[in-house]
Amino acid sequence: MKEIQNIEHFIHEVDNGIKEIPQSADTKREKDLIMKVMTHLRDVNMINKLTIAEIEPMKNTVVLLKKHGVVPEGDLLIRLENQKTKLVEVTENALGPVKGMILPLQSIEANNIKIELEIFRKKIEEFRRKFINHCPYHVETASTESIDKAYNTITEFYQEMILLEEEAKSFNNLETLFELHKS
């Protein structure tokens, strides 16, 4: 079953991803490692309960298939129970000792993100002021040149807004990773 393979893959990824915990956040490699660990912690936190809840219906499906003479490859019931146990172990390790070890670094990075968010907030305010002051709300003359200029201005604002939206999504992802209030 594809679902079991997905659970196995997830457990393997998380288990390997939380083995190396950085001691500081001084280098790019260490910051990347913090991001990797925080991503795994977020993923475990988000899907753990849902995944464990899905194992029981999968076991019921396997039992029903066997009852009707359809025998899947291998003993899926044992495999499912093993994956459930491994998932619980990985979750307890990730949200227990690993979370405790990375907490000081998480706090430092969360403060850095807050500073970056304040800079981004000022950038948004500046964009808004520029938009209000320079967007062509009314065209004085209906010449082709003035209309083209108005469309070009609107296009420039639109392109800048798209970049700001992408940056905002990136910050929202960081806020989720580092358990900050979404701005």
pLDDT tens by residue, the chain, 183 residues: 788 889 999 999 999 999 988 888 888 899 899 999 999 999 998 888 888 888 889 888 888 888 888 877 778 888 888 999 999 999 999 999 999 999 999 999 999 999 999 999 999 999 999 999 998 887 777 888 888 999 999 999 999 999 999 999 999 999 999 989 988
DSSP state for residue 182 in the 8-state scheme: P
Q: What is the pTM of this model?
A: 0.77
Residue 174's CB is within 10 A of a number of other CB atoms, namely: 18
Closest CA to 76 of 54, 52, 60: 60
Strands (E), the chain: none
**What's the rounded Cα separation, in Å, for the pair 21 and 28?**
14
Which letter does DSSP use for residue 96 in this model?
A: I
Q: What pLDDT, on the 0 to 100 scale, is given for residue 123?
A: 98
**Could you give the 3-state DSSP secondary structure of residue 70?**
coil
